């Protein structure tokens, strides 16, 4: 896993729905609420290839977000359903980069275009884990294949 790999050929899909606690005074989803959905989607994506995030944490490995960008293209309203589509865009050394696009039902273009970079870190010290647990490495391989 030394040179850059990616992107995944497959997008992992995760369904979400706008609840009252996601919205703000403007009657649309508050811009920070999307980060919850993106996190939920990443955890479900890892589950789809056999890794429970909580188990990874028990092994002493966290996977914090160290970089993120979001472009808000269309608001979402109370009760709307959407899909978070996620894929690994690049995996290089310890950097795991994901595209995460959020589509309203039937939308052709994403409402929100997100990118996040994750790096495996030691749960106790926060230091970068150059050799993450094998189950994480295997999971990333599966997501890339």
With binding defined as CB under 8 A, does residue 135 bind a copy of itself?
A: no
Terminal C-alpha separation, the chain? 13
Catalytic one among 2, 24, 55, 106?
A: 24
Residues 98-117 that bind a copy of itself (CB under 8 A): none
Q: What are phi and psi of 113, to 5 degrees?
A: -115, 115
Which of 107, 123, 133, 144 binds a copy of itself (CB under 8 A)? It is: 123
CB neighbour list of residue 67: distance below 8 Å, 6 or more residues apart: 115, 116, 117
DSSP secondary structure string for all residues of 94-126: TEEEEEEEEEETT-SS-SEEEEEEE--EETTT-
**Of 133 and 144, which CB lies nearer to a copy of itself in the complex structure?**
133
Residues 21-80 that bind a copy of itself (CB under 8 A): 21, 23-28, 30-32, 35-36, 39-40, 43, 52-55, 57, 62, 64-72, 75, 77-80
Is 62 a catalytic site residue? no
Cα angle: 102, vertex 29, 35; to 5 degrees: 55
Instruction: State the nearest-atom distance from the C-beta of 145 to a copy of itself, in Å.
Output: 25
Q: Helix, strand, coil shares of the chain as percentages rounded to 5?
A: 25, 35, 40
| Residues of the shown chain interacting with a copy of itself in the complex, contacts defined by CB under 8 A | 19-21, 23-28, 30-32, 35-36, 39-40, 43, 52-55, 57, 62, 64-72, 75, 77-80, 123, 126
Give the residue numbers annotated as catalytic, written as ranges.
24
């Amino acid at each position: 896993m030394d040179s850059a790999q990616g992107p995944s050929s497959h997008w992992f899909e995760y369904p979400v729905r706008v609840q009252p606690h996601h919205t703000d005074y403007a009657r649309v989803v508050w811009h920070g609420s999307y980060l919850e959905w993106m996190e939920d989607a990443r955890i479900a994506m890892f589950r789809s290839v056999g890794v429970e995030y909580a188990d990874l944490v028990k092994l002493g490995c966290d996977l914090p977000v160290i970089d993120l960008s979001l472009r808000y293209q269309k608001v979402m309203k109370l009760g709307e359903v959407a899909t978070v589509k996620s894929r690994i865009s690049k995996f290089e050394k310890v950097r795991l980069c994901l595209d995460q696009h959020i589509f309203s039902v039937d939308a052709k273009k994403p409402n929100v275009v997100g990118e996040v970079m994750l790096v495996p870190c030691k749960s106790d010290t926060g230091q970068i884990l150059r050799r993450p647990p094998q189950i994480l490495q295997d999971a990333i391989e599966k997501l890339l294949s």
